[in-house]
Chain A
Amino acid sequence: MGVLQDYETRKQETEMSFVKLATSTFAIAAVAAGAAAARDQVQVAGSSTVLPYASIVAEAFGENFDFPTPVVESGGSSAGLKRFCEGVGENTIDVANASRKIKDSEVEACAANGVTDIIEVQIGYDGIVFASDINGNTFEFTPTDWYKALSDKVVVDGEVVANPYTTWDQVNPAFPAQPIQAFVPGTKHGTREVFEEKVILAGCEESGDFEAFKAANGDDKKAAEKACIALRTDGKSVDIDGDYTETLARIESNADGIGVFGLAFYENNTDKLQVATMSGVTPSTESISTGEYPVSRPLFFYVKKAHIGVIPGLKEYAEFFVSDEIAGPDGPLADYGLVADPELAKTQGVVADEVVMGGAS
């Protein structure tokens, strides 16, 4: 009898819980159906370089305004702009962060999806630095050194040959005989483009190899540029597709490694890294803002004008981002490592008047 009663109660319990579960399932389904309801926070995605700055701004924005803290996702400039260009509506992001200018092809893709009025906002500059293990050798680079050390093909005695250099002293006699081992950002990073253009290509031109490549490619400038920036694939140059933390970990495990970092990352890890000078200039927010330090690039974010007035707080967020208190030389972004834009006032005007790209407003 006891067992039977036991079964009876268990049976009832199971039936009860099934009823409960079924009800909750329907409840969830109902919630899901109404999910396309209004969104009340700004959605941002894009460059992982801009992410720290955007999160600092988002946090301060949430503290100082009655709007909820904006959501900032990373994923890279290209991924962010792709999502940005998916269309207009609450299911698309409002702001795309980018560590490079939006490309014409992306503007066209945007337009094809109905995203026509885009406000381009330049927030400041970011420096790209070359750093190695703090206990290792000190380097004073020029773009030529990097080009010679990392390019797939170099010119030796007037002939284009596969890169023969294995140690830094072969590249430049002033350097120690340390094996060449570089960790550079992978091709999906916006940083890579800047590295190729302002370091490798500059070095290629500086060393005079550019002319040789041009001659070898039948006077084709584009092909010569391509030949310049093709990096060697014999393991001396390693593409890092992850974040700077991965580059740092690689250098910590390989004291010969030299990595490419953002200035802000270096400044947070000065106990592990030493920075190399480039063309005799030490990177700092000052030397980058005066333009002395050559390897820097502007950072941007792009705002969908159609969302202003629809998504609460979007314009306020953009205005807050470029305000003097935030993006100015004494603001929290500069504290973190952003090089303030000397023409910030102009940018503030662009945001205030909602000036869209392409002139028409």
Chain B
Amino acid sequence: MTDMTSDTPHVHGTLLQADARTRKRNAAETRFKFYGILAIAVGLLMLAILLFNIVSRGTGAFTQTFVTLDVALLEDKLDKSGNRDIEEMKKVSTFGYAPLLKAAMTDMVEKTGMEGQISAGDMADILSKGAPAQLRDYVLANPDKVGQQVSFNFLASSRVDGYMKGRVSRDSIANDKSISAEQLDFVDKLIAQGILTKKFNLSFITGADASDARPEAAGMGVAMLGSFFMMLVVLVLALPIGVAASIYLEEFAPKNWITDIIEVNISNLAAVPSIVFGILGLAVFINYMHLPTSAPLVGGLVLTLMTLPTIIISTRASLKAVPPSIRDAALGVGASKMQSVFHHVLPLAAPGILTGTIIGLAQALGETAPLLLIGMVGFIASNAPDGIASGLLAPNSAMPAQIYEWAKRADPAFYERAWGGIIILLVFLLAMNTIAVILRRRFERRW
């Protein structure tokens, strides 16, 4: 560029007229912006597909088909001695209640004037296998009702429910031995009579898991409690340990190679796959410490190990974000180091700490892999805990483990419930993340 002033005049284009290089640069920028928008669009599209899939497949689980039926609670079947002694009435098992349902179906057909071409047994088969148990529970809770006629809302069997939801059709049941086309004809008549209806199913949210024979009765409630108790353990252990560790490391610890190693290891711990914590939990908490298997306490302890690094890292970040001038000012007016930390630094860092904790909890809430190894997957979530002790120690499952379990089962009705369970889990995660965002927005101070 020595001949800048030589005879080829360097034409400076006007600002209004871009030269080739400027146009090229501008084009590159436009392209980059386009790529960025494209990337976001692809991300949003994936999210939309995912959400659409989850919602369209899972909402079915929140409604369920019910049959309203008047059942005569016959004394000679339920309480032969007639003295309403609960212990004696308990001897009649659910199998003893099944004939009442058959009789109730026959009664109903006669009363409504329907022509029943199918047997009483086939009619009763459109009810859930759990109906006799529902009846028995009611009778044992209200022994004085024996001898009377009581109206019940029974769940319909999973095939009938599938028929109402469009999952089951006359073509698809050609080889099915659980339901026949005649039974579907009968179902059609019941729909016309208003006896069989689809309603919101609260027990999906509050109920317990059910066996493979009655997917229609399965619910998420007990597994939700299992998750709740695990989160309680995680919160109670991980928050104080994590915060104490980070305060010491950040504010008090001398900067030497030991603390450096600790720091590196905490960061490494955050990247350890969760299944490793499961194996550790099995080896230490169950095999060595002899804590009970399938217990939310053990699940909580394992998840605590997993959540600790997340909490430590976020706590240290928010402690670092508090400007040194605050500490200096506190020390300057005569506060001890500990006073300066607990009176000034920690309160200012609290929103960041809480945000990190909530995000760590949300992560732990959705974790399945370590729970596989400590026995929280299977037919477990059937007894609702009746207190904190049993909530922590009695066998239970957790929400993601329950979803995994349902997705494995044979009946397609469980598949629908697995998607429904995902919706519940996502609602929880969304709520927790929203709280974290609000906390950060509302309370976090910036300097």
Do these two chains really belong together in a complex?
A: yes
A interface with B by C-beta (< 8 Å)? 7, 10-11, 13-15, 18, 21-22, 24-25, 28, 31-32, 35-37, 39, 41, 43, 45, 48, 51-52, 54-56, 58-60, 62-64, 66, 68-69, 71-75, 91, 242-245, 264-265, 267-271, 274-275, 325, 332, 335-336
- Apart from the given pairs A18-B240, A64-B93, A335-B178, 10 other A-B contacts in the complex at a CB distance below 8 Å: A35-B393, A55-B212, A58-B382, A60-B94, A91-B293, A245-B409, A270-B172, A271-B171, A271-B175, A325-B95
Q: Name the one of A62, A63, A72, A336 contacting B378, with C-beta atoms under 8 angstroms.
A: A72
B129 contacts chain A at the CB level, 8 A cutoff: yes
How many residue pairs at the A-B interface have CB separations less than 8 Å?
Answer: 159
B interface with A by C-beta (< 8 Å)? 90, 93-95, 129, 133, 136-137, 168, 171-178, 210-214, 233, 236-237, 239-240, 286, 289-295, 297, 342-344, 346-347, 350, 375, 377-380, 382-383, 389, 392-395, 407-412, 415
List residues of chain B with CB within 8 A of the CB of A28.
233, 236-237, 297, 392
Contact between chains at A63 and B94 (CB < 8 Å): yes
List residues of chain B with CB within 8 A of the CB of A91.
286, 290, 292-293
Residue of A nearest to B396 (CB): A71
List residues of chain A with CB within 8 A of the CB of B389.
31
List residues of chain A with CB within 8 A of the CB of B133.
60, 63
List residues of chain B with CB within 8 A of the CB of A41.
383, 394-395
Residue of A nearest to B125 (CB): A335
List residues of chain A with CB within 8 A of the CB of B410.
52, 244-245, 264-265, 268-269
The 3 closest A-B pairs by CB, nearest first: A271-B172, A73-B378, A55-B379
Residue of A nearest to B137 (CB): A63
Complex formed: what's the CA distance from A66 to B383 in Å?
Answer: 12
User: Closest CB-CB distance, A279 to chain B, in whole Å?
Assistant: 20
Contact between chains at B412 and A269 (CB < 8 Å): yes
User: Closest CB-CB distance, B198 to chain A, in whole Å?
Assistant: 20
User: Closest CB-CB distance, A77 to chain B, in whole Å?
Assistant: 14
Contact between chains at A31 and B94 (CB < 8 Å): no
List residues of chain A with CB within 8 A of the CB of B380.
71-73
Residue of A nearest to B158 (CB): A268
Known: A63-B133, A271-B176. A73 touches B294 (CB 8 A): yes
Q: Name the one of A31, A63, A268, A275 contacting B297, with C-beta atoms under 8 angstroms.
A: A31
User: Closest CB-CB distance, A248 to chain B, in whole Å?
Assistant: 9
Complex formed: what's the CA distance from A35 to B395 in Å?
Answer: 12
Contact between chains at B212 and A21 (CB < 8 Å): no
Q: Name the one of B176, B291, B375 contacting A73, with C-beta atoms under 8 angstroms.
A: B375
User: Closest CB-CB distance, B291 to chain A, in whole Å?
Assistant: 5
Complex formed: what's the CA distance from A270 to B411 in Å?
Answer: 10
Complex formed: what's the CA distance from A336 to B343 in Å?
Answer: 65
Contact between chains at B237 and A35 (CB < 8 Å): no
Q: Name the one of A15, A68, A269 contacting B383, with C-beta atoms under 8 angstroms.
A: A68
List residues of chain B with CB within 8 A of the CB of A66.
90
User: Closest CB-CB distance, A41 to chain B, in whole Å?
Assistant: 7
List residues of chain B with CB within 8 A of the CB of A68.
383
User: Closest CB-CB distance, B45 to chain A, in whole Å?
Assistant: 22
Contact between chains at A25 and B292 (CB < 8 Å): no
Residue of B nearest to A248 (CB): B410
Contact between chains at A39 and B213 (CB < 8 Å): no
List residues of chain A with CB within 8 A of the CB of B415.
245
List residues of chain A with CB within 8 A of the CB of B237.
25, 28
Contact between chains at B379 and A51 (CB < 8 Å): yes
Residue of A nearest to B241 (CB): A25
Contact between chains at B294 and A7 (CB < 8 Å): no
Residue of B nearest to A15 (CB): B342
User: Closest CB-CB distance, A49 to chain B, in whole Å?
Assistant: 11
5 A-B residue pairs with CB within 8 Å: A11-B343, A28-B297, A69-B382, A245-B410, A271-B172
Known: A14-B350, A73-B294. A56 touches B211 (CB 8 A): yes
Residue of B nearest to A18 (CB): B240
List residues of chain B with CB within 8 A of the CB of A265.
410
User: Closest CB-CB distance, A329 to chain B, in whole Å?
Assistant: 14
Residue of A nearest to B93 (CB): A64
List residues of chain A with CB within 8 A of the CB of B177.
267, 270
Complex formed: what's the CA distance from A242 to B405 in Å?
Answer: 12
User: Closest CB-CB distance, A114 to chain B, in whole Å?
Assistant: 16
Contact between chains at B240 and A22 (CB < 8 Å): yes
List residues of chain A with CB within 8 A of the CB of B171.
271
Complex formed: what's the CA distance from A18 to B343 in Å?
Answer: 13
Complex formed: what's the CA distance from A22 to B214 in Å?
Answer: 45
Q: Name the one of B173, B213, B295, B407 contacting A336, with C-beta atoms under 8 angstroms.
A: B213
User: Closest CB-CB distance, A227 to chain B, in whole Å?
Assistant: 34
User: Closest CB-CB distance, A45 to chain B, in whole Å?
Assistant: 7
Contact between chains at A62 and B291 (CB < 8 Å): no
User: Closest CB-CB distance, A133 to chain B, in whole Å?
Assistant: 14
Residue of B nearest to A285 (CB): B177
Q: Name the one of B168, B290, B342, B408 contacting A11, with C-beta atoms under 8 angstroms.
A: B342
